[in-house]
Amino acid sequence: MNIIVQKYGGSSVADSEKIKQIAKKIKEKIKENNKLIIVVSAMGKTTDNLLKLSREISKKPNLRELDMLLTTGEQISASLLSIALNEIKIKAKSLNAYQAGIYTNNEYNHAKIEKFDTKNILNHLENYQVLVITGFQGINQNGDLTTLGRGGSDTSAVALASSLNAKCEIYSDYPGIYTIDPKLYPNAKKIKKVNYDEMLEMSRLGSKVLHYRSVEIAKKYKTIIYCGATFSEEEGSYIMPGIEDSVVTGLSVDRGQTQVNIINLPINYSLINEIFKITTEKSFNVDMISIINANDKINVSFSIVENDKADMDEFLKTHLKEFKDVKLSYRYNLTKISVVGVGMRSSKGVAMRFFKSLDKIPITLVTTSEIKISALIDETNLSKAIKNIAEEFSL
């Protein structure tokens, strides 16, 4: 049985006409004697609208109930696409997470897939040409619906393909993976092949092409991912092992960053370790940490996503209230801009070229690894920074 797993994002299934077009596209694949598993996201802005609706009722909705609400979006897409397929004489069946046997841990809103009932899925494929499965969701050991977090449909598709040793195709508005988001830099180049490690860093650093957990799974199981445009025949891009063509492969942008500054902490590294331990337990997305000794005190700075600011401020004020000299300050409207490339491991002068590109642009924090360099800058300087870096590294 030749199985292909395809995933279609929210903009691809945004209305009935697009769903009917996808059904026709699937029909062509069926003619090649393939069995297809289609993973779908919620239609258009459905998830955003459901979140907005929940917050009209509660500022902090019960997470179990929020997952119960959010999982309805994908069920609508799956059933509509199955209807469209059956309408054109393709034997299709839609399955939600429970019916498909997608099991996760108990972490609502950010659940991780633990296993698939592959026997159940394969039995369904014996009787149907196409299975349309809800992405972004699973069920926990209590039988409750869980969601995998933003971009979770990518994870659903790659995990399914990996467990079934099937081909994996991810479809969106873009005909592949670009050096830079074309919305930010129209002259960006399309990349034909991308290394797992590079794609993993780009996804973590703000690239919207794939969710980083889907890339982690692909790397673990050596699943090749094809990324293409839903409504275009233009050849897309492949994520796979062993590609090392250039020093810098891509540039990622992560907006909505806030810099947290804790000034005049006592020289007590146990206290600092405890702060970061608790922030991890509270699921704050802490990044780009700087620790400086100054005048027998310690100043700590780090970046968080803007949405965490209020909760972070409440935590720090409570946790540090006994230290009267400590001051908290915040910088808003910041953006993390990063370059990624496995070629950095063996090339000299990449950091020098990166910082030369940002000459006269104030940088507040920096972080590096073997294959990436990130800088935190003011949002107002983003366009200039992208242009300079793109020209320096021929992106």
Judge whether 341 lies within some domain.
yes
> Average model confidence (pLDDT) for the chain?
91
Q: How many domains does the chain have?
A: 2
Q: Are residues 293 and 384 in the same domain?
A: yes
190 annotated ligand-binding residue: no
pLDDT at 203: 86
7 annotated ligand-binding residue: yes
Judge whether 65 lies within some domain.
yes
Per the CB < 8 A criterion, the answer to whether 52 and 97 are in contact is no
pLDDT at 244: 63
SS3 of residue 10 by DSSP: coil
Q: Are residues 153 and 12 in the same domain?
A: yes
Judge whether 326 lies within some domain.
yes
Per the CB < 8 A criterion, the answer to whether 303 and 260 are in contact is yes
209 annotated ligand-binding residue: yes
Owning domain of residue 132: 3-172
Q: Are residues 147 and 278 in the same domain?
A: no
If pLDDT is split at 50, 70 and 90, which confidence band does 245 have?
Answer: low
Q: Are residues 268 and 121 in the same domain?
A: no
Domain boundary pick from 125, 143, 172: 172
Judge whether 244 lies within some domain.
no
Rounded Cα distance, 207 and 170, in Å: 15
10 annotated ligand-binding residue: yes
Residues 6+ apart with CB under 8 A from 115: 103, 163
Rounded Cα distance, 152 and 208, in Å: 12
- Residue-wise pLDDT for 55-111, tens only, equals 999 988 999 999 999 999 999 999 999 999 999 999 999 999 999 999 999 999 989
Q: What is the CATH number for 303?
A: 3.30.2130.10
Domain boundary pick from 155, 172, 189: 172
pLDDT at 321: 86
Judge whether 291 lies within some domain.
yes
If pLDDT is split at 50, 70 and 90, which confidence band does 243 have?
Answer: low
Judge whether 224 lies within some domain.
no
Domain boundary pick from 151, 172, 193: 172
- Residue-wise pLDDT for 319-373, tens only, equals 888 888 889 999 999 999 999 988 888 888 888 999 999 988 999 999 998 889 9
Judge whether 328 lies within some domain.
yes
185 annotated ligand-binding residue: no
Judge whether 35 lies within some domain.
yes
- What average pLDDT does the segment 227-237 reach? 92
367 annotated ligand-binding residue: no
- C-alpha angle 208/209/214, rounded to 5°? 105
47 annotated ligand-binding residue: yes
- Residue-wise pLDDT for 136-163, tens only, equals 999 999 999 999 987 789 999 999 999 9
pTM: 0.85
Residue 273, H or E segment: helix 269-281
Residue 189, H or E segment: none
Query: Which of these ranges, 39-53, 262-276, 377-391, has the smallest mean pLDDT?
Result: 262-276
Q: What is the CATH number for 105?
A: 3.40.1160.10
- Residue-wise pLDDT for 16-71, tens only, equals 999 999 999 999 999 888 899 999 999 999 999 999 999 999 988 999 999 999 99
Strand-pair partners of 335: 377
The residue length of the chain stands at 395
208 annotated ligand-binding residue: yes
Give residue for tokens 């993993």.
200
238 annotated ligand-binding residue: no
Q: Are residues 142 and 7 in the same domain?
A: yes
